[in-house]
Amino acid sequence: MTQLGLPEDIQACLFDLDGVVTRTAVVHAAAWKETFDAFLREREGDGFRPFDAVADYDEYVDGRPRADGVRTFLASRGIELPEGSPDDPPDAPTVNGVGNRKNVLLLEKIRTQGVEAYEGTLRYIEAVRAQGLRTAIVSSSANTRDVLHSIGAEPLFDVRIDGVVAAERGLPGKPHPDTFLAAAQDLGVEPKQAAVFEDALAGMDAGRSGHFGYVVGVDRVGQTEALYAHGADVVVRDLAELGGGK
C-alpha cells in the first residue's frame, strides 16, 4: 500500500460528489423527504407512511440519477407513474414532475444553506494529485458543476462525469458502473488502475461490478457493514484516515 492508503498500481482516483466531497447528501435526502411526503400525503391522505430519510434514502435513492430515484422509491411502495416530460411542472404526477419538485427544493436549500466541503477529502485529493495520480468527479447529480463551482473545487478534477454528461452520452447511472468506467477511460487508465471513493450503496455496487482496483467506502451515517456488504475494500469515516494529510 502507498502512503495514501492505496494499492501500489492505482493511477487514478474517481470521487463521488454528494457525501464524499461535499456535505450535500443530507441536503438531497431532506429535499427528497419533503417531495415524497407531500406526494404520498396528496395520494394517500394523512395516514401515509413517510419517506425514511435514512433507510429509504440509502436503499432506493442515494447515488442514483434523479429520475431513477423517483422510480425506484415509488416502486418500493407499489406506485408506478407515467414518465411525463422534462419540463413538467413540479406538481405534475409524473416521474419528471416529482423529480422537478425535488430539484426546486434542493436548489432552494443549497441557496439558503450554502455548500460545505469535507476538508479531509479536499486535502486528500490535493495529496493524490501531488503524487501524480489523476482525478475525476463521478456523480449522478445534474447539479455537480454548480456545487463544485460554489466551493471552488473544479480545478481538483481532470475529468467530470455527472448527470448532465451521462445523459449526453446515454450512460446508465449508478448502480451501473458505466459512469465510473467512462471516467477511467477519459483519464486513460484501466478500471483495475482506478480507485473508487463512494458513500452510497449504489456507488459501491457500481465499483464492484466495474472491477475497479480498489473501492473505498466513506461512512458518514453509520452504515459501515452495509458498505462492506456492497463491495467496499475498506471503509473510512473521513479520507484523512487514508493518509496524505501530513
Ligand X SMILES: O=P(O)(O)OC[C@H]1O[C@@H](O)[C@H](O)[C@@H](O)[C@@H]1O
Binding site for ligand X (CB under 6 A): 17-18, 25, 28, 61-63, 65-66, 69, 103, 139-143, 163, 200
- On the CB side of 148, CA atoms within 13 Å amount to 24
* Closest to ligand X by CB, 65 or 231: 65
Q: Which is nearer to ligand X, 86 or 188 (CB)?
A: 86
Contact 54, 28 (CB under 8 A): no
* Measured distance CA(162)–CA(15) in Å, rounded: 11
Q: State the catalytic residue, choosing from 9, 18, 68, 178.
A: 18
Q: Residue 85, SS3?
A: coil
| Helices and strands in the chain: count of H runs, count of E runs | 10, 6
How do beta strands 194-198 and 159-161 pair? Answer: unpaired
Kindly tell me which of 11 and 143 has the beta carbon lying closer to ligand X.
143
Smallest distance, ligand X to C-beta of residue 99, A: 7
For ligand X, the closer of residues 28 and 160 by Cβ is 28
Nearer to ligand X, 73 or 214 (CB): 73
All three cell numbers of 20:
464524499
Please provide the distance, in angstroms rounded to a whole number, between the alpha carbons at the two ends of the chain: 17
Exactly one of 16, 162, 199, 205 is catalytic; name it: 16
User: How near is the Cβ of 162 to ligand X at its closest, in Å?
Assistant: 8
Asked if 16 is an active-site residue, the reply is: yes
Taking the complex as a whole, the smallest distance from the CB of residue 62 to ligand X amounts, in Å, to 5
> Under 8 Å CB-to-CB from 130, ≥6 apart: which residues?
none
Question: How far apart are CB 32 and ligand X at their closest, in Å?
Answer: 6
* Residue 88 falls in the annotated catalytic set: no
Instruction: Report yes or no: 145 and 134 within 8 Å, Cβ to Cβ.
Output: no
Map residue 69 onto helix, strand or coil: helix
Output the smallest distance, CB 1 to ligand X, in A. Answer: 28
User: Would you please indicate which residues are annotated as catalytic (active-site) residues?
Assistant: 16, 18
